[in-house]
Every structure is written in structure tokens, then in C-alpha cells.
Structure 1
């Protein structure tokens, strides 16, 4: 009986975290989309790789430091809004290409389909995907360094390969984070939201890159 009670409490707690995560995620995605739209409409310049990294990791530090306080939610919106701003010039670039609108909409639809499909699988199956954590962390670190190398040394083939790998890694992250919430491993909805948002963001930009390359061919 005690085991059943503990399980019920765990399920209730996980459901609350999941509900709060999806609610905050939907709000941050909408806020980021607005920021991206304004950035694209005003043709604001991309801040550059250095400012982007400093802004991202600086705000990430503030979110993590305030993860258990209401201020953490404020910094989550600041971070996702900043990422939306950096996305605006990227979207403008692809919209200026032949079939640009189709590329952006296909990437958006693909991102939504992948996220909903993988999330539904993790929720319904309740399989333990947390074993993927170490592999995903190493994979993201390697992809991050390879991505920087592709930018600084202007290696298009490497950049394309990194985008393909990131699509797989972010798909794995969606499975991992959702499973972690369902199984009670992640109890902070602020950090869960940020993890899923970053996965969706990187998934979308990587699909954009791949589709844009295919369009040029």
C-alpha cells in the first residue's frame, strides 16, 4: 500500500511539472516567435557569433541560478526572446531565397511534427530514455565544437553534417527530457522548459539549413 501511495504521489508530481512545462513552453515559443517576427520585419542585423554566445550563456547562467525563484521565469523569457531576435535575420535570409517561404514553413512543420510525435511517444510508452543523457551531452559538445569550426574555417560540408547530426541529437533530447519529467527525474519546470525550447530552436534552425541547402541544389 505504501508503495502504491508513493507511486501515486510521484505520478501527480510529474503531471504537475509536465503541465507547467508545456504551459511555459507554449508562452516562450510564442514570445520568441514575436521577437523573431519583429527582428525580421525591421531587418535587424544578426548580433554575430560572439555576442550570441555571450548573451546565451550569460542568460542561461541567470536562469539556472534563479531556477527555484520567480525571477527564473523572467530570465527564461529574456533568453527565449533573445534567441528569437537572433532567429529573425536567419529567417529573413531563407525567405529571400527562391521558394524561401516554402523552406521556412516546411522546417516549421517538420519541427512541430517531430516534437509532437516524440513527446507523444515518450508520454504514452513511459519508456526510460534517461540512459541517453551521457551520449547526448557528449554528442552536443562535439557538434558545438564542430559547428564553431565550420563557421570560423568556412567549411560548408562540415556545417551541413553538423546540422544533420543536430537534428538527431535534438530529437534525442526531446525524448530524454520528456521521459525525465514523466519518470520524476526532472522536478523543475523552468529548466525543463528551457531544455525543450533549446531543442526545438536548434531542431528548427538545423532543418532550415538542410532544406536551404537542398533548395540550392
Structure 2
């Protein structure tokens, strides 16, 4: 999860034409689908190689650093390479986590439930915005505050190691990411985001954090540990 990716969450962009908005929306979902598939391949490769937690953390931190260069490449052809490198690193970093949950009794079912729930939430919320064209920009401030609180609590819990707090954070992230799916989709539909590369990265992060949090919750309540 990345704090800086949401730093400009309240920024309001200009209103492009319907044709331009539809083009951004179409390109965003096309690139998102490709990067999710690529991320899944990288996660599978990491699982097969038995990637360690340490290596996964390095990959996550590398991807985090890449966020700072997003705006510099978002309007160039390098942006496409950036997105695939970024999502590939985050996908690969999921390897140890997926291997951990797959080791549970019924682990494969657990992971599939998390994937299915994530897909259901994403498509359901996106379809709602696309159908109603409702503007969710008013949620920006609340989501930003919630995200900061979740990040601070996550860092604190690294040292405290309180299981109940960890579950509460995961539950909070599920709600925050759901809100961000509404917010980000609304920005595209209503012309607040006109760059499909930035939009793809935003959507990918929403889905990534939503999936990992749902998997954590399902693992806690349905796992064998």
C-alpha cells in the first residue's frame, strides 16, 4: 500500500469531452487487464521459485520507489514499461504470501474466494459508477484521512504485533479501497483523471490492496492457524 500514490487525491482536473473520457476509460481497463495478467504470471513464477519474504519485501519497496517517478513518465511511451515493471514487482512480491495461504487446509479454495470477492467488489462498484455517472469526488478527504490512519496503524502494529488490530486494519483497508474504486472510477468518468497510465496504477493499487486484505481476513477466520 502506498501513501504517496494518494497524495493528490483531492485535485480536480479539467472536464474533457465525452469522447476523450471514453478513450481514457477504455485504455485504462485494457491496460489494467494486461497488467493484472502479467502480475499473476509474476506471482506464479515467484511461487514456483520459492521467493523468500525478504526478497518479496525488496520487490515491494522497489515498486514503492517507482511511484515517485510516475508523473515523469506518465505522458510518454516509457509509462507503459513503467506500469508493467511496477505491477510485475508487486505481483512477484505476492509469491510468499500466496504460498503461505496455500499451505493451509483448503488453501487453494481460500485464495480463490479472495480473488472472487475482489473481482465481485471491483466490478460491482465500477459498474455502479459507470451506470450512474455519480461524482464521488466528495469522498477524497475522508479516504485520505482513513488511508493515513491505516498506514500509521500498520506501521505501529509491526512493533506491537496485535492480531486483533491487524484484522481491524485489514477490514478498514477493504472499506478504504472500495471507496477508492468508486473515487477513481468517478474521476475518470467525470473527467478528473485524463491520463490512463496514472489511472491504471491507481486502480491496480486499489485491487492489489483489496485482494491482500480480503485474503488476510479470510485466512484469519477460515484458516487453520
TM-score using structure 1 length: 0.92
Q: Distance in 1 between matches of 2:52 and 2:32?
A: 26
Q: Distance in 2 between matches of 1:111 and 1:43?
A: 25
Change (3 A) 1:52 1:142: farther
More helix by share: 1
**Over the residues paired in the alignment, what is the CA RMSD in angstroms?**
1.6
Query: Could you say which residue in structure 2 is the equivalent of 1:21?
Result: 28
User: Is 1:211 aligned to 2:218, yes or no?
Assistant: yes
Q: Distance in 2 between matches of 1:98 and 1:70?
A: 45
> Which residue of 162, 184, 187 maps to 2:169?
162
Change (3 A) 1:53 1:153: farther
Which piece of structure 1 moves more, 76-85 or 64-73? 64-73
> Which residue of 90, 93, 103 maps to 1:83?
90
- Within 5 Å, which residues of 2 pair with 1:1-217? 10-47=17-54, 51-52=58-59, 54-216=61-223
- 1:65 CA displacement: 1.9
Q: Distance in 1 between matches of 2:56 and 2:158?
A: 9
Structure 2: unaligned runs, 5 residues or longer = 1-14
Kept in 1, the 8 Å contact 2:35–2:84? The answer is yes
CA deviations 1:98-154 (Å, max 9, x no partner) are: 111111000000000000000000000001101111111111111111112222321
Q: Secondary structure at the match of 2:110?
A: helix
Kept in 1, the 8 Å contact 2:56–2:93? The answer is no
Structure 1: unaligned runs, 5 residues or longer = 1-6
Kept in 2, the 8 Å contact 1:40–1:88? The answer is yes
Task: State how many pairs are aligned.
Answer: 210
Which piece of structure 1 moves more, 26-35 or 50-59? 50-59
- 1:184 CA displacement: 0.5
Rg larger in structure:
1
- 1:58 CA displacement: 1.1
Q: Distance in 1 between matches of 2:111 and 2:186?
A: 29
Which piece of structure 1 moves more, 151-160 or 36-45? 151-160
Tell me: higher relative CO, structure 1 or 2? Use CA pairs within 8 A at least 6 residues apart.
Answer: 2
